[in-house]
Structure 1
Amino acid sequence: MDRLTRRSLLAGGAAAALPPAQAIAAPDFAQVTPGRRLVFPRDHGAHPDFRTEWWYVTGWLDGPTGPLGFQVTFFRTRTGLGEGNPSRFAPRQVLFAHAAISDPQVGRLMHGQRIARQGFGLAEASERDMDIVLDDWRLVRERSGAMRALAGGEGFQLDLVLTPTQPILLQGEGGFSRKGPRPEQASWYYTLPHLQVSGRLEREGRWRPVRGQAWLDREWSSTLLDPAAVGWDWTGINLEDGRALTAFRVRDARGRALWTGGSLRSADGRLWTAPNGAVAFEGGRTWRSPRTGAVYPVAPTVRLMTPAGERRWALTPLFDDQELDSRPSGGPVYWEGAVSVPGGRGYLELTGYAAPLRL
């Protein structure tokens, strides 16, 4: 298949615009209910009966000119369209992906994105194991258990190997993670923190070796957000002592928490799962985007109320302008950036500040 044909088939996914949430018949989608046991490697793979899911890799690289943040993210959406249509061109499933690097010397995100309807060998998500292809971008779990990520964008290319150093972390109750006051507002959610990263980064036509540490978030759901929710704040932090911190809150239009959650796992595997109300994102400096006018709380303090007492982490962004505009691939505008805390590094995601998030 020549390059022109490949590009035309990929572009067809963008032409099939996703319908608004209210146009999709929710009862046709599989629902997240407690009691199911996650099974691997099967649950590394796609879950096409659910409405949406993502494979979300974020991390820090120690590059030749200093620290860089990076993300490689693949999404799958079941559109609810054409499900009775036998044509291979029917946009039943759509894949889209983002790649970005945060370089303080550039001072803004360098970003790339892709979208295509699933099929034709050009956009595929295996149901057996982690293996997602979108043209020449790929995220695959190899026989060794390591993952390889290939993606790029504006002035960069990433070719990274992500090697687990800790067991899978099941969020919530064995992977069943509540996201709202109603029990159906939930996702299946697991994490692989403290991934060891090796590989190479291409900038200005030159490949250079890089090393670092990363974090994988995996979620799938059909009814994720309460109707009153406008977005969420989320952070995942690899702490230098081997602990892994996850914290999130789902917000309403007044900035109040509709639901909170997260976890703190020690280096020896002891896991504390935060009940609703035990996580807070507090204060901190804000940054206003010169492009969208959105005001983001880019330096909050995350507070966990654990049985052993209160724990606080003040987040500091690598730099302020880490806003990502994914509208060309059908996504939202949000802030997704590398952050550090005393004794750790991770990522902060802030959605629903430019406009209410609709999934």
Structure 2
Amino acid sequence: MSIRPAILVLALAGLGTSVWWLWPAPVPAPAEEPLELARVLGGTDTDGYARAEQPRPFRFPVDHGPHPGYRSEWWYFTGNLADAGGRRFGYELALFRFALAPGEAQRSSRWAARQVYMGHLALTDAGAQRFQYEERFARAALGLAGARGAPFRVWIEDWSVEGDGFPWRLAAAGEGFALDLALDPLKPVVLQGDNGLSRKGAGAGNASYYYSIPRLATEGTITVGSVAHTVRGESWLDREWSTSALEEGQAGWDWFGLQLDDGHELMVYRLRRRDGSVDPHSAGTLIAPDGTPLPLSDTDVRVDVLESWTSPRGGTYPARWRFAVPAVDLTLEIEPVLDDQELDVTPRYWEGAVEIRGERKGQRITGRGYVELTGYAATAPPR
């Protein structure tokens, strides 16, 4: 069942990885105009909501759960897995919560809700050279969707991640594919930005609370059609909650979550302005094997786009990159496993599995990761 006509009303225009799906409530575009990410994220309706303005203490497991005083938040899981024969899979499960209005719903009806949940599920099957995805929505009423911190659970109908402590179980199914995975951290929680306060712009409160678990041991089953594959590999969790939107002039972002075979992880997000320049609030983190984070500014990481890919649905995305982080003598080349890992959802964006190769201090390095690209393509208007 599709509720796409409600998306403009609810301002449910997806993100992740990934990284900042900040959902205001804009005036709907005329039906003949495409839905653009910047239009959806450009709202300023923040009255009555909490704001991310200062660093705060994080408490777990409670902070794995919901923060309903903020307008939006998400639980973003991506991973690279393989079966015993080496068949490669990538997956994304992103669960989003959106507040329709501040405060609690006046429950004159059991259907009453001021929170709506959205989910994106995607599978990259490198062996079959196939990319599949689904999108769904449910209100936080009648048990259809929700989240809690202790014991941890977030769910949309039968898509869920849950666990009373680790490992967590991730279970979700789409048309012709399904995931049933156990996730157990190999690294501690990393607080991104300024002790978990990740600034996205100069305006007061234009920020999110943001943490990651950058490496989770993952094992379980991926089912494609009628064939079940026993898989192992590693996943990444990104968690954010906020009330802010993109600032004037910001058009989208590129997010990279990279797991290197020497035990380091690299997270980089690049906020793009409409004139093509990189916004100075772009940032990143290099995470050492022991979990120690090294914050990176927008000038610490040089990113060169080596190739591009044009979607058959319209829009052109970067498709291969070269990274350089001179302060740690690191250079990387990043290449998608498949060119077409685009989710034609609301709005359209690219999120896919990538391969990594490069050098650090003269030593060869490889890895795997996920990349998210937003604001490069408009979504056709809902009918």
TM-score strictly above 0.5: yes
Is the aligned partner of 1:317 residue 2:317? no
Is the aligned partner of 1:30 residue 2:53? no
How many residues in Structure 1 have an aligned counterpart in Structure 2? 339
Q: CA deviation at 1:73?
A: 1.1
User: Which amino acid in the other structure matches residue 344 of structure 1?
Assistant: G
Separation in structure 1 between the aligned mates of residue 325 and residue 245 of structure 2, nearest angstrom: 23
Separation in structure 2 between the aligned mates of residue 84 and residue 280 of structure 1, nearest angstrom: 47
Is the aligned partner of 1:51 residue 2:71? yes
Which residue of the partner structure matches residue 80 of structure 1?
101
Q: CA deviation at 1:305?
A: 4.7
Higher deviation after alignment, 55-64 or 272-281: 272-281
User: Which amino acid in the other structure matches residue 255 of structure 1?
Assistant: G
Q: CA deviation at 1:66?
A: 1.3
User: Which amino acid in the other structure matches residue 60 of structure 2?
Assistant: F
SS of structure 2 residue aligned to 1:257: coil
Higher deviation after alignment, 128-137 or 225-234: 128-137
Q: 1:197-346 maps to which residues of 2 (within 5 A)?
A: 197-258=218-279, 259-291=281-313, 293-306=314-327, 308=328, 310-327=329-346, 332-342=347-357, 343-346=366-369
Is the aligned partner of 1:18 residue 2:39? no
SS of structure 2 residue aligned to 1:28: coil
Separation in structure 1 between the aligned mates of residue 127 and residue 152 of structure 2, nearest angstrom: 34
Report if the CA contact (8 A) 1:13-1:115 is conserved. no
Report if the CA contact (8 A) 2:111-2:142 is conserved. no
Separation in structure 2 between the aligned mates of residue 230 and residue 118 of structure 1, nearest angstrom: 30
Higher deviation after alignment, 61-70 or 238-247: 61-70
SS of structure 1 residue aligned to 2:372: strand
Report if the CA contact (8 A) 2:343-2:349 is conserved. yes
Q: CA deviation at 1:281?
A: 2.7
Report if the CA contact (8 A) 2:210-2:239 is conserved. yes
SS of structure 2 residue aligned to 1:238: strand
User: Which amino acid in the other structure matches residue 25 of structure 2?
Assistant: A
TM-score (norm 2): 0.82
Which residue of the partner structure matches residue 160 of structure 2?
138
Q: 1:74-153 maps to which residues of 2 (within 5 A)?
A: 74-80=95-101, 85-86=106-107, 87-128=109-150, 130-143=152-165, 145-153=166-174
Q: CA deviation at 1:39?
A: 1.0
Higher deviation after alignment, 126-135 or 332-341: 126-135
Separation in structure 1 between the aligned mates of residue 55 and residue 225 of structure 2, nearest angstrom: 50
SS of structure 2 residue aligned to 1:126: strand
Greater relative contact order, per chain length (Cα 8 Å cut-off, separation 6+)? 2
Q: CA deviation at 1:268?
A: 2.2
Q: CA deviation at 1:181?
A: 2.8
User: Which amino acid in the other structure matches residue 237 of structure 1?
Assistant: L
User: Which amino acid in the other structure matches residue 93 of structure 1?
Assistant: Q
Separation in structure 2 between the aligned mates of residue 294 and residue 107 of structure 1, nearest angstrom: 21
TM-score (norm 1): 0.88
Inter-CA distance 130–303: structure 2 relative to 1 (3 Å threshold): farther
Is the aligned partner of 1:350 residue 2:373? yes
Separation in structure 1 between the aligned mates of residue 332 and residue 171 of structure 2, nearest angstrom: 32
SS of structure 2 residue aligned to 1:119: coil
Report if the CA contact (8 A) 1:172-1:273 is conserved. yes
Separation in structure 2 between the aligned mates of residue 40 and residue 107 of structure 1, nearest angstrom: 39
Question: Could you report, residue by residue, the CA deviation over 1:267-324 in whole angstroms, capped at 9, with x for unpaired residues?
Answer: 1233210134323432211000012x11000212233353x4x532211110100001
Identity score, percent? 39
Residue ranges of structure 2 left out of the alignment (5+ in a row): 12-23, 28-43, 358-365
User: Which amino acid in the other structure matches residue 39 of structure 1?
Assistant: R
Separation in structure 1 between the aligned mates of residue 336 and residue 106 of structure 2, nearest angstrom: 47
Separation in structure 2 between the aligned mates of residue 110 and residue 72 of structure 1, nearest angstrom: 12
Which residue of the partner structure matches residue 4 of structure 1?
none
Separation in structure 2 between the aligned mates of residue 88 and residue 230 of structure 1, nearest angstrom: 39
Report if the CA contact (8 A) 1:52-1:77 is conserved. yes
Separation in structure 2 between the aligned mates of residue 35 and residue 317 of structure 1, nearest angstrom: 35
Separation in structure 1 between the aligned mates of residue 204 and residue 295 of structure 2, nearest angstrom: 17
Inter-CA distance 13–325: structure 2 relative to 1 (3 Å threshold): closer
Is the aligned partner of 1:179 residue 2:183? no
Q: CA deviation at 1:135?
A: 1.1
SS of structure 2 residue aligned to 1:43: helix
Separation in structure 2 between the aligned mates of residue 206 and residue 314 of structure 1, nearest angstrom: 33
2:182 to 161, 164, 181: 161
Q: CA deviation at 1:326?
A: 1.7
Report if the CA contact (8 A) 2:187-2:290 is conserved. no
Q: CA deviation at 1:179?
A: 1.4
Q: CA RMSD in A?
A: 2.3
